[in-house]
Amino acid sequence: MSRALIVDALSDDLSTLRLRDIDVPPPRPGEVKIRLRAASVNFPDILMVQGKYQLKPDLPFSPGMEGAGDVIAIGDGVTRVRIGDRAVLGARFGCYAEEIVVPEQAVRPLPARLDYAHGAACPAAYLTAYVALARRGELQRGETLLVHGAAGGVGLAAVDVGKLLGAHVIGTASSEEKRAFLKSYGADHVLAPIGFREKVKDLTGGKGADVIFDPVGGDVFDESVRCIAFNGRLLVIGFTSGRIPTVSVNMPLIKGFSVVGVRAGEYGRQFPEKGVENIRMIDAWAAEGKIRPHVCATFPLERAREAMRMLQERRVIGKVVLTM
């Protein structure tokens, strides 16, 4: 028996999450069983519990898209991992648990420089940032990158990846505390998420930002349209503001910019070879110490609701992680 956080019914206030003892089956051929030590808390986890995410698991289910831990059993035919390996894994759900069984291809070695908490916090954020900026946005050295929600987990990853790709990075964040953190973190300029249009233009000599990374949507997207450069790429990551914006197509026509959707996981499924290359790049940067997620808080599994509400209430700088 092991413990898992189980959702029996959907709920906006996360009240239906319950810690329960469950039986985790042994791995079948091609599968790996992991004793999880940490799981990252992400917005899609919250949306799944609320029934608002595009993926809607059958009830009951356990949330959690990424984790890190130790391999404790392997099924027949598994060759890439061994019992005792430290591993990081991605799953569509199920990581808010002490044990999980996943396909072998979902598991890879935990970079030596990362502990379990930082390993769990790394994959989704940095993979999203890399696919957005390198693959979909084709960010070039010397270009200006505007990152919205830059103090969040995905936003900080975009700041890191943007700097590694040689961009000049402007970040926006919603509070003085977050903006002060971003300045210390390495963003070239930091702005409030309201009224940034003219300041971005001033910082770019009137040109505007070449690439805009937007996980916020709503009013932030609307204002971004007004400060994007000709041939710019406005990357749609998500809608944490709660409003899905629209744009009149005459704006991309007149201003010569592209609105580009980003789904990092789907990109890897559609282009498997590039998906492997993306993951290798992220793991290499982590192994070399070039990236390390900022974990601002950890909570034990039984306090997962607190961790999720911290994220919901925008009180997280970087990532929040559950430990088991």
- pLDDT over 90 at 240, yes or no: no
Q: Structural domains in the chain?
A: 2-122+294-323 (3.90.180.10), 125-266 (3.40.50.720)
What integer pLDDT is reported at residue 234 of this predicted model?
98
pLDDT of residue 1: 81
pLDDT confidence of residue 39:
98
Task: Report residue 273 CA to chain centroid gap.
Answer: 21
The whole-number pLDDT of residue 279 equals 93
3-class secondary-structure state, position 41: coil
- According to the model, what pLDDT value does residue 2 have? 94
Entry pTM: 0.92
Which tokens sit at 101?
A: 């069984």
Q: What is the pLDDT of residues 128-187, one digit of tens each?
A: 999 999 999 999 999 999 999 999 999 999 999 999 999 999 999 999 999 999 999 999
Which pLDDT value is given to residue 54? Answer: 85
pLDDT, tens digit (0-9, with 9 covering 90-100), for 114-145? 999 999 999 999 999 999 999 999 999 999 99
Tell me the pLDDT of the chain averaged across its residues: 96
Among residues of the chain, what percentage have pLDDT more than 90? Answer: 95
Classified as helix, coil or strand, 74 is strand
Mean pLDDT value of segment 85-105: 96
User: Is the predicted pLDDT of residue 25 greater than 90, yes or no?
Assistant: yes
pLDDT (0 to 100) of residue 77: 96
Kindly indicate the confidence band of residue 206, based on its pLDDT and cuts at 50, 70 and 90. Answer: very high
pLDDT at 242: 85
pLDDT tens-digit readout, 65-82: 999 999 999 999 999 999
Q: How many CB atoms lie within 10 A of CB 139?
A: 24
**For 86-91, which contacts have Cβ atoms below 8 Å and span 24 or more sequence positions?**
86/110, 86/116, 86/119, 87/32, 87/34, 88/114, 88/119, 88/120, 88/122, 88/123, 89/34, 90/65, 90/66, 90/123, 90/124, 90/265, 91/64, 91/65, 91/66, 91/67
pLDDT band for 322, please (50, 70, 90 cuts): very high
How large a percentage of the chain has pLDDT more than 70?
Answer: 100
Mean pLDDT, rounded, for 222-231: 98
pLDDT of residue 95 exceeding 90: yes
Cα–chain center distance at 324: 21
Q: According to the model, what pLDDT value does residue 300 have?
A: 98
